Amino acid sequence: MPLPSGGVGVMAGREAWGRIALFIPSLTIGGAERVTVNLAGGMAARGLDVDLVMVTSRVPTAIGDIPDRVRLIDLDAGRALFSLPRLIGYLRRERPAALLSALEHTNVMALLAARLAGVDTRVVVSVHTTLSRDTEDSHLLRARIFPRLVRWLYPWASGVVAVSAAAREDLLITAGLEPSSVRVILNPVVTPQMFRKAAASLSHPWFATGQPPVILGIGRMVSAKNFALLIRAFARLRRQRVARLMILGDGELRGEMQELATELGITADVQLPGFSDNPYAYLSRAALFVLSSSYEGLPTVLIEALALGVPVVSTDCPSGPAEILQGGRFGELVAVGDEQGLADAMLRALQRPRAAEDSVAAWQPYQLDGVVRQYLELLLPDSGG
């Protein structure tokens, strides 16, 4: 029996295939979390019963983004490690047909819980970052042992997904997995909801008609995003033309980034407003989106910018940007850490912006419906596709 598509065969899908659970740490606005919410909505739209299971709700959330047909399960465990007994209980009680987890620490808990629960739930784990760089850049002992845990536990999975070809290659090398065991499925980034949010009104004065162009960065204020590079490059660009820089996101380095802007004398043209529950309203109105990261898994915001017709510039970091931009065809790539190179690329992009229609081929593979179908082929392999 084929999987239900869209609104067709809703009851048949629910009765035949059982429940699907998606497991994440929380509903913070991160790339993996947003992808998981998109998947949950896409699966529910096909008529499947979907649980969005999270370790904790005790953090700022995107709870308004949860589709009505998705059941929210809060394990209220505080940390992934403490969620293990409650996840075991959930699996024994609900016995979902399949469990999809995202991010390394929840992947580990999902595999252990399914084994200890003694259920026949299929477990598929997804990798959203570059494991080797996460390990190198972390001072935490748990991060250092993740490659060993991955090598030991991931073979238990019914499927392993990497969100980019480069992330897959890194995972194979770092964890020593069999190539046949890891499949690339691109993130379901482009959704109808994204376009609706992008069209929402925005009252910020920087985006009023006649104002200087706004360069936008989006992401958590952590070292991997390298917003210091973006701020320094913007300071160079600002010497040559009028422009403004806004970075949406919160995190441990936000204060440090504000101090850097002050040190460089550009505070009048730089804003770090923190978290936004609708970054798309800003993104769709930006003159340029810039990704300054030192490393990524698959930077979803880069795809979103392209889908919204916004010109982009990105560091050529591992992994994802070169794949998304097809080696620079859809946006200029700059060497990681190249401050002057980034400033020059931003200046060129502002002077000669690309037409929105030129980027369609870059973002089409990331549309929700096709990605959902690929995941369901792994989660429900007897469905007939």
C-alpha distances in Å from residue 372, one per residue of 35, 45, 48, 169, 191: 11, 10, 12, 23, 11
Local confidence band at 15 (pLDDT 50, 70, 90 cut-offs): very low
Quote the tokens at residue 118: 């003694």
pLDDT at 89 over 90: yes
Instruction: Please give the Cα distance from 258 to 34 (Å, whole number).
Output: 26
- What's the rounded Cα separation, in Å, for the pair 277 and 280? 9
Query: Residue 233's domain is classified under what CATH number?
Result: 3.40.50.2000
Task: Identify the DSSP state of 125.
Answer: E
Q: Give the position of tokens 């980027």.
A: 359
pLDDT, tens digit, 9 for 90 and up, residues 242-252:
999 999 999 99
Q: How confident is the model at residue 136 (pLDDT cuts 50, 70, 90)?
A: low
Residue 45 in this model has a pLDDT that exceeds 50: yes
Residues 278 and 242 in one domain: yes
Count of helix runs (H) and strand runs (E) in the chain: 16, 13
More reliable by pLDDT, 264 or 147: 264
- Report the alpha-carbon distance of residue 169 to residue 131 in Å, rounded: 10
Residues 360, 379 within the same domain: no
Q: Encoding tokens for residue 93?
A: 């009680």
Whether residue 25 lies inside any domain: the answer is yes
* 331 & 217 share domain: yes
Task: Cite the DSSP H helix spans in 176-307.
Answer: 192-198, 227-238, 254-263, 279-283, 300-307
Q: Which two tokens stand for residue 238?
A: 């600002």
- What is the pLDDT, as a whole number, of residue 184? 94
**Same-domain status, 213 and 322:** yes
Domain around 246? 192-364
Verify that 338 and 200 share a domain, yes or no: yes
* In contact, 279 and 127? CB cutoff 8 Å: no
Task: Choose the weakest-confidence range: 89-93, 316-320, 355-359.
Answer: 355-359
Binning pLDDT at 50, 70 and 90, where does residue 353 land? confident
Q: How confident is the model at residue 10 (pLDDT cuts 50, 70, 90)?
A: very low
Summary mean pLDDT of the chain: 88
Q: Which tokens sit at 119?
A: 């259920």
What is the number of structural domains in the chain?
2
Rounded Cα–Cα distance for residues 170 and 42 (Å): 28
Sequence-distant (6+) residues with CB within 8 A of 228 are 256, 257, 260
